[in-house]
């Protein structure tokens, strides 16, 4: 029953590709995926949690560099975090009892930027971050329904801008690291592969420049 479901098969394939071994999941893993489907959680949200788990150094054996992850249930907390972020964005514009003012999330990001920029020496990168901050300040008083999509789009653009400011050797080093994380990628689509590369790239950029205000 589970194996015939395209939603379940997509997540199974994505997880096993990252794991690098195995041909099927356990029954409890299939039940877990089915529960996500019942809640109408998008595939990409689940995949984002899986990517996060496999990119976490705590899940890599320091001796043989192999993953410690054995099944999908063992990384459900990463997927839960991804689902939580997805639901927060979905519900951001809904009036919820005792919720914060609509601009509180944006102001929080701005405060984090102010704290982080003190340690950024590269003026080119600093200028890009300040452009992003100015955008947020302009949006803080904007109550349009798509403002969080605008923030997300510009956050992705900021990652692209910072990457493009790097030297060719720095770029190649980052891309090589990303590809090494996807050593067994024959069974995933080109689209999923590219998205995984970009996701890993963004994580490396965030860590390298201490961009804690970014997702």
Cα torsion at 26, 47, 212, 159 (round to 10°)? 150
| Pairwise CA distance, residues 59 & 62, whole Å | 9
pTM over 0.85: no
Which pLDDT tens digits describe the chain residue by residue (215 residues)?
Answer: 455 678 999 999 999 998 888 878 888 999 999 999 999 999 989 999 999 898 888 888 878 778 889 899 999 999 999 898 888 766 644 443 444 444 567 788 888 888 877 777 788 888 888 888 888 888 766 666 677 788 888 888 999 999 999 999 999 999 998 888 777 666 677 878 888 888 889 989 988 888 888 76
Structure token pair of residue 19: 């794991």
Is the four-CA dihedral 81, 164, 149, 8 of positive or negative sign? negative
| Pairwise CA distance, residues 119 & 148, whole Å | 27
Structure token pair of residue 148: 């969080």
Q: What is the SS3 assignment for 67?
A: strand
């Amino acid at each position: 029953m589970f194996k015939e479901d395209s939603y379940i098969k997509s997540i199974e394939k994505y997880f096993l590709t990252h794991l690098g071994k195995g041909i099927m999941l356990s029954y409890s893993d299939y039940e877990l995926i089915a529960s996500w489907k019942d809640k109408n959680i998008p595939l990409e949200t689940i995949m984002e949690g899986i990517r996060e788990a496999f990119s976490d150094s705590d899940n890599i054996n320091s001796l043989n560099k192999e993953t410690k992850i054995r099944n999908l249930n063992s990384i459900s907390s990463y997927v839960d975090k991804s689902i939580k972020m997805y639901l927060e964005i979905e519900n951001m514009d809904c009036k919820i009892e005792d919720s914060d003012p609509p601009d509180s999330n944006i102001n929080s990001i701005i405060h984090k930027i102010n704290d982080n920029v003190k340690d950024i020496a590269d003026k080119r990168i600093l200028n890009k971050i300040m452009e992003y901050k100015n955008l947020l300040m302009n949006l803080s008083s904007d109550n349009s329904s798509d403002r969080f999509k605008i923030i997300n789009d510009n956050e992705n653009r900021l990652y692209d801008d910072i990457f493009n400011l790097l030297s060719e050797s720095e770029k190649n080093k980052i891309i090589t690291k990303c590809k090494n994380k996807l050593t067994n990628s024959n069974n995933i689509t080109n689209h999923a592969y590219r998205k995984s590369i970009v996701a890993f790239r963004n994580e490396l950029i965030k860590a390298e420049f201490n961009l804690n205000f970014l997702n």
